[in-house]
A and B are shown apart, each in its own frame.
Chain A
Amino acid sequence: MRRFTQSALAGLIISSVATPLLAANTVTFSESEKATITSHGPWPPKMTPDPSNRVSGNKSAIAFGRELFRSRFLSASRRHSCVTCHKPNRAYTDGLARSTGVSMVDRNTISLANLRLNRWYGWDGGSDNLWAQSIRPILDPREMNATPALIAKRLRNDAPFSRGYQAIFKSSPSVDDAGQIIVNLGKALAAYQETIVTPRTAFDEFRDALAKSDEQETSQYPVAARRGLKIFIGKGKCGLCHLGPNFTNGEFDDAGIPYFKASGGIDKGRFGGIQKLKKSPHTLLGRFNDNPRRASGIATRHVTRSHQSWGQFRVPSLRNVINTAPYMHDGSLPTLTDVVRHYSNLNEERLHLDGRGLLRRLDLTDPEIVDLVAFLETL
């Protein structure tokens, strides 16, 4: 009797422990949630050539752009290249909070992947196309510190690069003016960078299996990641900004990160980005756009600057996010756990007007934070 009672009690205890464990290991999704999850794919999406860049997708231009990207030819001192900050073995970032070329800049290096999907480039969206964004660091005194005249002179005197240029752009650097040359080099750099696409991930396998209702395949996806995904599309409301196959709406928001620069002053974020855009000769509305209809310039034509643009920064893609630490526009958060904790403990008082309506403290538990990070690591 005593033995039986003990056995029954043990059974009850096992049963009461096992039930929540079983529940924790079984993550199910409603039809609405499944629709949201499948909207994050398929991956990779079809990426078409950039109509504003006549050498986009051109194999010779891609090879030439790749060579330029790795060469120190484009920096005034010949000590820096694009690879200085965008290291291929570090997901095209440098792992630093803030990057250093000629001197330290105010922002974190953004990874260069899946760029053909962007509407805006840079943390502030100061460029509306990839070739203009590729020119920017070449001319920035803190980064490569060159000028169009210097690069043109150097190109005219460099036989291999000069031949490469002429073969792709069908005109000689000795004929083209410096302004045209720097744009063409930007277009070759863009053609190369467009080829950098992140591979399929565990999430993509799960997403496709879910779309096919393949339970055996979906069961391969880690349970913690599934719980994290549930938070991502539910309680966390992360999908409001991080949507679609590239996990971004491509727009700008105030994420509650201070916008005081380490070098002093305030980083205007999107407000400053629109100012730069409106002054730039290298936009999709300008003469360097190779598409005569300027159809891709609709965002630039209609973008508007408001007080809400202050302190807003581009919503980054979450693809490959595990490999692009540190995070946020100023690189102030070293790990993904720090990022999730930031949103969980958000200081709502600090938010700008726009952010106050959008962001709320998530108040996640420690296990929820672990799960959300586990999900992000699968992207």
Chain B
Amino acid sequence: MQNTWFQLTLLISVLLYVAAEFFSVWRVRKSKQIGNEVVRWDWAWFCYPGVTLGLLIVLAWYGWGMNP
């Protein structure tokens, strides 16, 4: 039961992660098109994937470790 929940949560995490990335790229393009302020890239953009993927990996590792 716990493993299934883990797999489901990780699947949701990955889907939300991919959706958030697509959304970000789409918003950046759209803001350029409609003449909003130009969104520039900096380290904060790379921090998000790093932090999120790191957490996902640790959670998965711990989760499966708990109930292999």
- Decide whether A and B assemble into one complex: no
